[in-house]
Amino acid sequence: MKKIFLFIGLASLTLGLFSCDKKNDLRATEVATTVQRVADWQIEHFRDTYSDRKEPHHIRDWTNGALYVGMHKWAKLSKDPRYLEWLKYISDKGEWSLHWRKYMADDHVVGQLYLDLYTHYNDPKMMERTKKSIDFIRANPSKQPIELDNYANMERWTWCDALFMGPPVWAKLAKITGDKSYVDWMIEEFEATTQHLFDNDEALYYRDNSYIGKLVHGEKIFWSRGNGWVFGGLTLIMDELEKDSPEYNYFKAIYLKMAPALKAIQTEEGHWAMSLLDAKSYPTPETSGTSFFTFGFAWGVNNGLLEKSEYLPVIEKAWKSLTSHITPEGMLGYVQPIGAAPGNAWADKTELYGSGAFLAAGTEIYKLLKGDKQPDIANSEKLEAAISTSSKLLEKEYEKKAKRHSEVLSARFVPERKDDFAWENDVVAFRAYGPALRRSNENSGTDCWLKRVDKPIINRWYDLALNEDKSYHEDRGEGYDPYHVGSSAGCGGTSLWIDNERKALNTFVSYENVNVGNDHLTFTLNYEQEINGDLYKEQKNVRLKPGQRLFNVESTFWKNGKLAKNLPITVGLTTHEDKAQLTFDEKQKLLFAWESIDAQGLGTAVLLETSQPVETKHVSSNKLDESHGLLITQTDNNGKIVYYAGYGWEKAKAITSVTKWQQYLNTFIEQKPYH
């Protein structure tokens, strides 16, 4: 009962924030203390689970990226260095990298934080990877259509949320580097999205093309948070542009179309309905969209785009609504969970992006009352404990992840199965053929064991086959081995390239240096073969990290006892009698394939890391083991080549199409996880 009365009391206090007779100082202080309370609560609960997820959001996920936007604004205003230090700590843990999808705007929003911190600390590492990622997109723009089409096309800004996530990163890079081409590129893409999703009659954005032309209860469907993403995102972009520049005026025109339309549909209670034109069907308050709109309106007044006398009542009413849904501890309630359309919200449920939007709104409202003057509030006593709590939980997550990695990494010689050498992590498994098979058909090709569980399978599958007469060529729920190698290159086998023909070395003759650690495994395989009277040797130093679908190889070649520099070498993929679809990317020195095995898609790939010229070749054949895709290069002056090889299997669920396989490979190339 006491908690209920305390909650009512706090809500009543905030309801009089603008209309009471207290001085501006006191009103501004009340805004600041409310923002402080929400910020501290969210930091303490940073590693909670939300939206019914089983695990906390990844620290580079868009949900957290939106939180960082608001938290950074509050950190700058409050002048309490602990907020900025916490954001820097999170960025360090995230290695200053964007999230995993190369083109996906949701995975770019965290870059806003990195670039903002760069402007504060002036440390090049803080912006290096973000700039590199964006530069790649600019140099290699996606060719996908602008329509989302049931999530088939997500490489461009095909849904309105993306206009908050991606464009501000481009605008910030333009300002930091002085390179206007970032803005030019961004505006072209922004305009394509706007032409596609903006309804000129309503001055609102459809969430994506699936809502265009659709009516519910006789009304068009405009999602509140979706339009909040756009309205808030416009302010983030304009903050980075020169006022009255053509670029600024482009975004200003959209903003000034949306503002009066949004003002007109604010509910009597002060929030915006989840379906903006259908408040009767969605009476439940929703605070994430409302926070973004409040932030956008307060920013507009502060930057002279909106008349204070006209929009202050809108801001006041929205703020009263928002603060009435904050618990005494500081949790912002009625945040709609992750979604893409009007839905439900609850008083006891929140999300990180809702808190981020609220912090941005409160910061702008404080500025409306007091400008950039530091709030006259005591440093939070709760913040230190909140940071300690969230940091300890995050460190435990990383420790648990490292432990899990050490448990799933495996590499060993398998003498009980004709001298195989097998290795695996949590997502892929492979084997190479050894001395016992030197007189058989097999050679130096690499076999893929298609696993669909994140636990080790090598020992179990061999044991089942050898001791229980259960073949690993049958899937019993963990995966199986349907991938035929024989005398082919398999997935990433190397060969000499002599007289325009692939000449494979025989199976390995010995292994050494097996080391399985917490964050990677390594081992060495030694090969030798006499070809045309010359004795060739190859030493493969193999490395595999947890979570990576490609293993890394540094191969050194000798000819007649001497390091073989400029030796023509191929790294190949079998195409299984040309059943696999091949794609060559000569610029990236990448070859990948997509095929169907037992009605399930399989992507394989090889990637060269070399300054030497690379030739591509498709060897077509309907004979067993003779059809290949090949990358042909030469060893360097030390007789070495460096390459990567691996696979993604549809039945394991993560790589479910050739498009997703290509996206994974592009991200792998960008992030260089073995460097």
Tens-place pLDDT, residues 629-661 = 999 999 999 999 999 999 999 999 999 999 999
CA atoms of 87 and 72, how far apart (whole Å)? 8
Q: Do 459 and 408 meet the contact criterion of CB atoms below 8 Å apart?
A: no
What is the pLDDT, as a whole number, of residue 528?
96
Mean pLDDT computed over every residue of the chain: 94
Residue with tokens 């394509």: 192
Least reliable range by pLDDT among 373-387, 393-407, 507-521: 393-407
Residue with tokens 């390459």: 643
- 395 C-beta neighbours (distance < 10 Å), count: 11
What is the pLDDT, as a whole number, of residue 403?
75
Question: What residues contact 555, with CB distance under 8 A and at least 6 apart?
Answer: 494, 538, 539, 540, 541, 569, 640, 641, 642, 643
Q: Return the ∠ at Cα 632 (arms to 631 and 638), rounded to 5°.
A: 120
Q: What are the strands, taking DSSP E only, across 67-168?
A: none
pLDDT reading at 400 higher than 60: yes
Rounded to an integer, the average pLDDT of 319-335 is: 98
pLDDT reading at 1 higher than 80: no
Longest dimension (CA), the chain: 99
Cα separation values, 672 from 298, 319, 611, 645, Å: 42, 45, 16, 13
- 286 C-beta neighbours (distance < 10 Å), count: 25
pLDDT reading at 6 higher than 80: no
Q: Which residues are catalytic?
A: 161
Residue with tokens 């008083």: 347
Q: State the pLDDT confidence band at 3, using cuts at 50, 70 and 90.
A: very low
CA atoms of 248 and 250, how far apart (whole Å)? 5
pLDDT reading at 406 higher than 80: no
Q: Do 275 and 265 meet the contact criterion of CB atoms below 8 Å apart?
A: no
CA atoms of 110 and 96, how far apart (whole Å)? 9
Q: State the pLDDT confidence band at 17, using cuts at 50, 70 and 90.
A: low
Q: Do 271 and 288 meet the contact criterion of CB atoms below 8 Å apart?
A: no
Q: What are the strands, taking DSSP E only, across 122-279?
A: 198-199, 204-205, 215-216, 219-220
Q: What percentage of residues in the chain have a pLDDT greater than 90?
A: 88
Phi, psi torsion values for 444, nearest 5 degrees: -90, 15
β-sheet bridge partners, residue 533 = none
The residue type of 19 is S
Q: Please give the helix or strand (H or E) that residue 313 lies within, else none.
A: helix 308-323
Q: How far apart are the first and last CA of the chain?
A: 58
Helix (H, G, I), strand (E, B) or coil at 450: strand
Q: Do 99 and 165 meet the contact criterion of CB atoms below 8 Å apart?
A: no
CA atoms of 491 and 485, how far apart (whole Å)? 8
CA atoms of 288 and 9, how far apart (whole Å)? 23
Rounded to an integer, the average pLDDT of 180-200 is: 98
Q: Return the ∠ at Cα 15 (arms to 9 and 16), rounded to 5°.
A: 105
Rounded to an integer, the average pLDDT of 49-74 is: 96
Q: State the pLDDT confidence band at 162, using cuts at 50, 70 and 90.
A: very high
Helix (H, G, I), strand (E, B) or coil at 545: coil
Rounded to an integer, the average pLDDT of 370-389 is: 94
What is the pLDDT, as a whole number, of residue 334?
98
Cα separation values, 377 from 29, 36, 336, 362, 562, Å: 7, 9, 31, 14, 74
What is the pLDDT, as a whole number, of residue 315?
98
Whole-structure pTM value: 0.71
Structural class in CATH, domain 2-401:
mainly alpha
Q: Do 496 and 567 meet the contact criterion of CB atoms below 8 Å apart?
A: yes
Higher local confidence (pLDDT), 587 or 221: 221
What is the domain partition of the chain in residue ranges?
A: 2-401, 488-671
Q: What percentage of residues in the chain have a pLDDT greater than 70?
A: 96
Question: What residues contact 398, with CB distance under 8 A and at least 6 apart?
Answer: 93
Phi, psi torsion values for 80, nearest 5 degrees: -80, 110
Q: State the pLDDT confidence band at 675, using cuts at 50, 70 and 90.
A: confident
Rounded to an integer, the average pLDDT of 365-392 is: 95
Least reliable range by pLDDT among 246-255, 415-424, 511-520, 576-585: 511-520
What is the pLDDT, as a whole number, of residue 14?
40
> What tokens does 332 get?
């912002």
CA atoms of 51 and 350, how far apart (whole Å)? 8
Q: pLDDT tens digit string along 77-105?
A: 999 999 999 999 999 999 999 987 888 99
Cα separation values, 546 from 215, 523, 611, Å: 47, 15, 27
CA atoms of 183 and 666, how far apart (whole Å)? 24
